[in-house]
Structure 1
Amino acid sequence: MHKVVRQSTVLFAVAAGLGVAGVANATNGYFSHGYGTTSKGLAGAGVALSQDSLAAATNPAGMVTLGDRIDLGAALFSPRRSYSVSGMGAPDFFPDPDDLAASGFPLATGSVDSRSDYFLVPHFGWNRMLDDQSSIGISVYGNGGMNTDYPNDMFGGTFYGGAAGVDLMQLFIAPTYSRKINDTASWGVTPIIAYQRFKATGLGGFGVVEDGYDSSWGYGVRLGVQGEVAPGVRLGASYQSKIFAEEFSKYDNLFAEQGDFDIPANVTVGLAWDVSPSSTLFFDIQHIWYSDVKSIGNPMLPALGICLNTGNQCLGDDNGPGFGWKDMTIYKLGYQWQTSPDMTWRVGYSYGKQPIRDSEVLLNILAPGIIEHHLTAGFTRQMGPRNELNFAAMYAPTKKVSGENPLFPMQDIELKMYQFDLELSYAWKF
């Protein structure tokens, strides 16, 4: 037992060090389309059948089915984001930056691309069987994606405060206990420790003072069950509570509730059906309650418009403006098949209606989480009896969302994004 404790402590430290290297995964809002390389090859499906030790991020009940193993990998993630402004505006009309309220809030016309197009996203998982009925493990993974970087220009930047953007990182450290109910079913519980880091720049036009990075810690829990209900048919379900996080005190004049930025609750249900001895069909449904977090779900208007026109600062109030995101429901379909004992192939597709209303495009220049479709593929190559190589690729085709500038209706704003992601991981079984 002491050996297990010492080993898990060392692995915990290594995993945490890997996780803080950086995170950026804005695919379903700002949640990743999947966690773990095998699941990502299936467009994020896998709540009913777990295949690597990142399973706790989807369903902790599956960890007890995996045996002793370590998974270590990284993804190269590339979100390509831009916005364009049309209608009256600079150079036709340009406001006095010291009197924006009198002019409304027009933006410079034209198209602007966000810089910082590539992110390296590491992950780590470890699972250890305590006996043939139970296991402990730890998974380290991340969310992110409100990572934008728009350059300064002759008009003073996107929001008249110089180069504009936000950088959000969320790291999850997820220790897990999983136990079999019987030979075909199991349950699991994962206390979640979350670390968030955030920075905003170029928001002087909204009265937000640039103050560098701020961080916060949060805590929540994920619960899951998984089991075979008929020969070759498995069902799974998991629920993650809202993660209650400390406020970003440096940005208490930006996020509602004095800098509060909790992580929304979500639930996933799904099945895995062995359609033949060598192939399995996956189908998951996930729901994310973005609207339950005021800093994410509150609409920008009428609060922000009233505050700008009266000269008062209402960002950060208890019911202050947010990004106006709706809840998301995502449907994930995956298929995997074996061509030999050493090779397993995967493909997947997911769809979720993006969360940004056309009335909320102005602030969401900073956080254009508008992707809806994901196309994925991947494979597992067995490298002997105790090792395997996993690969997954994702392409998210271009999505656009357009709407009026709510603070200057003579303009239209269009948000645009497409993405790709390549992930490689290696597994050691012991």
Structure 2
Amino acid sequence: MRSFYSKLLYLLFSISAMAQTGHVLQGTGSVNMSMGGASTGQPIDISGALQWNPASISTFDGTILSFDIGLFASSPTLYSTVPEFDNMGQPTGNFFSGVTEDDRGLSPMPALAVVWGKEDSKHTFGASAFGISGFGVTFPENMTNPINMPQPNGFGRIESDYILLQIGFTWAYELNENFSIGLEPTLNYATLELIPNPTANPNGSGYPSTDKATATGFGGQIGVFYDSKTGFKAGLSYKTTQSFSDFEFDNTFSDNSTGTNEFDMDYPAIYSIGLGYSKSDFDIALDYRLVDYENTDGFSTTGWTPTASVSGFGWENMSIVSAGIQYKGIEKLPLRVGYTYSSNPINEDVAFFNIPATAIIKNAFQLGATYEFSDRLNLNAVYHHGDSGGKTSGQILNPAFISGFPPYGAIPGSNVSYDMTTDLFMIGFNYTFKSKQAETNDK
């Protein structure tokens, strides 16, 4: 016996984002992505500045518009092993193992930003619409992989789709020629689909499938930015928890019965510190971020409820290091290289609960370039490749085994694991309508 029980998106455009660092997108737009996401203390472009440190938009002159669109591909793989039992329920010493490849296609990834300020004003303003978060897998039903066998022996087809769009309105103020502060209230819209839905109570036929549920949220970000005017720069920012309404799922079970349930999943608070240095033809950026999953609804709790639903993902806090270098020695063609390191928030005890959210990339590498058509128009591009640096692995869990194998009911001799790679190609442009210097000359 082999059993184990177990849109936005229509404000300005539709998006489908996949994150590389947990479910937090590592960078925003072609330029920021090509710098590894580093921008808190080195604002190379307006999208990165708006995303990671609202105070740093004070360094930009005039009115600037930026738009980027990319195609994202991920290749997660799901592995599982379960022990085989005889008709008396005793282990035979044999094991049943299998592998399932994800069959999800390409996903679009856009970013839209604008920054503006007036001559001789200490105030700078910005607005943005970014896809800042997402995860998703599509593991088809598979009779050769125990985890993907039809319910109730397995979970059958495993599919998830999470997308978060954030709208921000930013204000920065120059305290003096060296220091700026910034404030950004944020509005959020998210969609979530889970097949099967582990947050719902199962019935005799297993866990249900869901429609795509939506939720709205709000939060904010504050930051400070220092520019020595001699090349050294630094920044600090804090993005609050983005508090969301509950996702309300309409569930359909395989026996055609229906039901509803709610699930609360917020977006974590993020602490960022960044350093920058500019000298001659080089711009260097280094950021460190702490993503506070341990105090975020939907991620802070984990385990089975008394009715065998899953209470949360159970993620630990995540550390992210981003670094990038820009070289401007080639006329009209700045070149960039970036690297991002991310710790894994999923420990082996809860790997089973996180099969729908496998977007964990340990190492990410980026190459980017800009072509300067004129003083006003630039074309930007970036290529990204990431890998998980090995498998996230743990035992398969079953609430019926809790009494013998607390706290989550790990099946002895079982294993579930997953790894993945990611690739992204993105292009975009930024256009300066009129700089402060141009305004001065017009007068």
Are residues 1:357 and 2:338 paired?
A: no
Deviates more, 1:169-178 or 1:137-146: 137-146
Aligned AA for 1:25? M
Paired residues of 1:157 and 1:164 also in contact (CA < 8 A): no
Are residues 1:145 and 2:145 paired?
A: no
2:312 aligned residue (309, 322, 339): 322
Which residue does the alignment assign to 1:281? 284
Alignment of 1:305-316 (within 5 A): 307=306, 312-315=307-310
Give the whole-Å Cα distance in 2 for the aligned partners of 1:159 and 1:123.
Answer: 42
SS in structure 2 of the partner of residue 149 of structure 1: strand
Aligned AA for 2:105? D
1:408 aligned residue (404, 411, 415): 411
SS in structure 1 of the partner of residue 345 of structure 2: coil
Paired residues of 1:356 and 1:369 also in contact (CA < 8 A): no
Deviates more, 1:65-74 or 1:159-168: 159-168
SS in structure 1 of the partner of residue 417 of structure 2: strand
Q: 1:213: how far off?
A: 1.0
Give the whole-Å Cα distance in 2 for the aligned partners of 1:95 and 1:138.
Answer: 65
Give the whole-Å Cα distance in 2 for the aligned partners of 1:291 and 1:174.
Answer: 25
Give the whole-Å Cα distance in 2 for the aligned partners of 1:390 and 1:157.
Answer: 47
2:297 aligned residue (294, 299, 302): 294
Which residue does the alignment assign to 2:20? 27
Give the whole-Å Cα distance in 1 for the aligned partners of 2:139 and 2:196.
Answer: 9
Aligned AA for 1:291? E
Are residues 1:214 and 2:213 paired?
A: yes
Q: 1:237: how far off?
A: 0.9
Paired residues of 1:159 and 1:202 also in contact (CA < 8 A): no
Alignment of 1:241-252 (within 5 A): 241-250=240-249
TM-score (norm 2): 0.81
Give the whole-Å Cα distance in 2 for the aligned partners of 1:56 and 1:151.
Answer: 38
Q: 1:370: how far off?
A: 2.3
Which residue does the alignment assign to 1:196? 190
Q: 1:117: how far off?
A: 3.4
SS in structure 2 of the partner of residue 261 of structure 1: coil
Which residue does the alignment assign to 1:395? 385
Which residue does the alignment assign to 1:112? 100
2:276 aligned residue (268, 272, 276): 272
Give the whole-Å Cα distance in 2 for the aligned partners of 1:333 and 1:392.
Answer: 15
Q: 1:252: how far off?
A: 10
Question: Which ranges of structure 1 fall in alignment gaps of 5 or more residues?
Answer: 1-12, 97-101, 316-320
Give the whole-Å Cα distance in 2 for the aligned partners of 1:428 and 1:15.
Answer: 24
Which residue does the alignment assign to 1:377? 367
Give the whole-Å Cα distance in 1 for the aligned partners of 2:123 and 2:138.
Answer: 46
Question: Which ranges of structure 2 fall in alignment gaps of 5 or more residues?
Answer: 1-7, 144-148, 253-260, 398-409, 434-443
Give the whole-Å Cα distance in 1 for the aligned partners of 2:88 and 2:223.
Answer: 54
Give the whole-Å Cα distance in 2 for the aligned partners of 1:26 and 1:324.
Answer: 18
Q: 1:76: how far off?
A: 1.2
Are residues 1:338 and 2:341 paired?
A: no
Q: Which has the larger radius of gyration?
A: 2
Paired residues of 1:354 and 1:369 also in contact (CA < 8 A): no
Paired residues of 2:187 and 2:217 also in contact (CA < 8 A): yes
Q: 1:203: how far off?
A: 3.9
SS in structure 1 of the partner of residue 298 of structure 2: helix
Q: 1:95 to 1:161 in 2, by over 3 A?
A: farther
Aligned AA for 2:15? G
Aligned AA for 1:329? S
Q: 1:214: how far off?
A: 0.9
Aligned AA for 2:80? V
Q: 1:15 to 1:162 in 2, by over 3 A?
A: closer
Which residue does the alignment assign to 1:58? 52
Paired residues of 1:77 and 1:120 also in contact (CA < 8 A): yes
Which residue does the alignment assign to 2:440? none
Q: 1:392: how far off?
A: 1.5
Aligned AA for 1:240? K
Are residues 1:224 and 2:223 paired?
A: yes
Are residues 1:86 and 2:81 paired?
A: yes
Aligned AA for 1:213? K
Paired residues of 1:170 and 1:196 also in contact (CA < 8 A): yes
Q: 1:297 to 1:113 in 2, by over 3 A?
A: farther
Give the whole-Å Cα distance in 2 for the aligned partners of 1:69 and 1:29.
Answer: 31
Q: 1:78: how far off?
A: 1.2
Residues 207-253 of structure 1 deviation map (CA, whole Å, 9 limit, x = unaligned): 14323011111000011111123621000111100111100122799
Give the whole-Å Cα distance in 2 for the aligned partners of 1:178 and 1:32.
Answer: 24
Give the whole-Å Cα distance in 2 for the aligned partners of 1:384 and 1:46.
Answer: 24
Q: 1:161 to 1:381 in 2, by over 3 A?
A: same
SS in structure 2 of the partner of residue 39 of structure 1: helix
Q: 1:174 to 1:210 in 2, by over 3 A?
A: same
Which residue does the alignment assign to 1:170? 164
Are residues 1:42 and 2:35 paired?
A: yes
Q: 1:389 to 1:410 in 2, by over 3 A?
A: same
Aligned length: 389
Aligned AA for 2:137? T
Aligned AA for 2:337? V
TM-score (norm 1): 0.83
Percent identity over the alignment is 21
Paired residues of 2:35 and 2:338 also in contact (CA < 8 A): yes
Aligned AA for 2:12? G
1:128 aligned residue (102, 109, 116): 116
